[in-house]
Amino acid sequence: MRLLPAIAFLLGVAACGFNPSDNPADDDAGTSIDAVDVDACLATAETCEGTDQDCDGQIDEGLTTGAPCDGPDTDTCPDDMTICNSTGAVVCGDTSGDDDVELCNGLDDNCNGATDEGFNVGANCDGADGDACNEGTFGCAGDGLTAVCSDNTGTIPEVCDGDDDDCDTLIDDGFDFLGDEANCGDCGNVCMQVLGTNTCTQGACAPSCINGAAECDGDPDNGCELQNTNPTCNPTSTSIIIVNGDATDTETFTGSAETIQRVRIRESNGAGDIDITARIALTSGQGANYDLYVHCRGCTNQPLTDGDNTIEVGREDGAMDRDIELWVEVRYNGTTPSTSCAQWSVTITGNVATANRCGDPPSGGGGGP
């Protein structure tokens, strides 16, 4: 059984190496076996090392060195050159030696497609003044290293006008609307110093008036109004209040300051012998203090007065119609000053029972004052 493998091996060798038709002499007759050329090119991948590695007759084709490129720096400028590295690969070598830094000069120094980036050229800016208003724009400095603001204007002050004048996002900052007498409660609202003092308290004018004046018109901003006006008596005044002195009749006039009013107490029933009489009464409003004076027949005559501010006058009728001409004066009481602007009221009542007489003419005198 062990002879079978050996026999198979010998048969195989004989079949492969022996040919009865072969003539050994043929080997010497010119028939030969191809020899291996030891100088033949063995093609490999082309790398950057200066030889034709892929046997195509070209050296380092497609692997260009010396071309412009951007090296390992922070700019994007092609100021470096391609080179072969130690592994035969083409890389961009750092041949420029430094980075191209962007300057402020209107150029794209770092080759990134933008000009003067980082300097805000053309942006609005505020100069070296006291406001915060952007009145200039940024432009490049002469050295190209910085940008400077063109704003060389002065400081815009904040004024009280409802606007943000100094551009600090605050309106009318620095003004005291609660206590500023020139801007009390609002811009330009002045507490006027008239007939006393006028302070700004919690944003509202609060006048304090001198003796003889008070805040009477409901507008505290304009200060006080004079009550002690010292009017003059006009003997020819055409403003006359007429009251019947021999019949039931009443007239009233009012005010809030001193006055002198011409009044005529007249006879109304013809030639009948009836005395002409009247009662003049002054009433001061709460907090107001006025006194009543009555001038008979002329402004310069010594006036009648009474502590309760009620004065009765009369005149004998005689044989003809006669009137009584009076000037009724309402006078401010400076001894006990008023504390309010309440109005006073004068009421004249005709035909009252009184024995008081006022300005009777001499016996036989004519009618009229």
Does 245 lie in the same domain as 217?
A: no
Across the beta sheet with 136-140, what order do the strands follow? 124-125, 136-140, 147-149
Handedness of CA 28, 33, 39, 40 (dihedral sign): positive
Does 252 lie in the same domain as 206?
A: no
CA angle 340, 201, 180 (to 5 degrees): 125
The structural domain count of the chain equals 3
The pairing of strands 240-244 and 259-266 is: parallel
From CA 86, how far away is CA 89, in angstroms rounded? 7
Does 255 lie in the same domain as 312?
A: yes
What are phi and psi for residue 164, nearest 5 degrees? -90, 85
From CA 295, how far away is CA 235, in angstroms rounded? 11
In a domain, 66, yes or no: no
| Higher per-residue confidence, 78 vs 206 | 206
Does an H or E element contain 283, and which? Answer: strand 276-284
In a domain, 256, yes or no: yes
Q: What is the pLDDT of residue 365?
A: 35
Does 246 lie in the same domain as 325?
A: yes
| Higher per-residue confidence, 340 vs 348 | 348
From CA 145, how far away is CA 109, in angstroms rounded? 12
In a domain, 308, yes or no: yes
How much of the chain exceeds pLDDT 90, in percent? 50
In a domain, 320, yes or no: yes
From CA 240, how far away is CA 253, in angstroms rounded? 11
Residue among 323, 327, 312 nearest 276 (CA): 323
Is pLDDT of 346 > 50?
Answer: yes
Does 260 lie in the same domain as 308?
A: yes
Is pLDDT of 132 > 80?
Answer: yes
Bridge partners (DSSP) listed for residue 261: 328
* Eight-state DSSP code of residue 303: P
Q: Is the CB of residue 336 less than 8 Å from the CB of residue 288?
A: no
Handedness of CA 357, 361, 365, 367 (dihedral sign): negative
Token pair 């050996």 is found at 6
Is pLDDT of 25 > 60?
Answer: no
From CA 247, how far away is CA 270, in angstroms rounded? 12
In a domain, 246, yes or no: yes
Does 264 lie in the same domain as 179?
A: no
In a domain, 75, yes or no: no
Q: pTM of the predicted model, to two decimals? A: 0.52
* Average pLDDT taken over every residue of the chain: 83
Q: What is the pLDDT of residue 321?
A: 63
Domain at 297, CATH number: 2.60.120
From CA 324, how far away is CA 317, in angstroms rounded? 10
Does 273 lie in the same domain as 213?
A: no
Structural domain containing residue 201 = 175-226
Does 340 lie in the same domain as 245?
A: yes
Is pLDDT of 106 > 60?
Answer: yes
Does 277 lie in the same domain as 184?
A: no
Is pLDDT of 33 > 90?
Answer: no
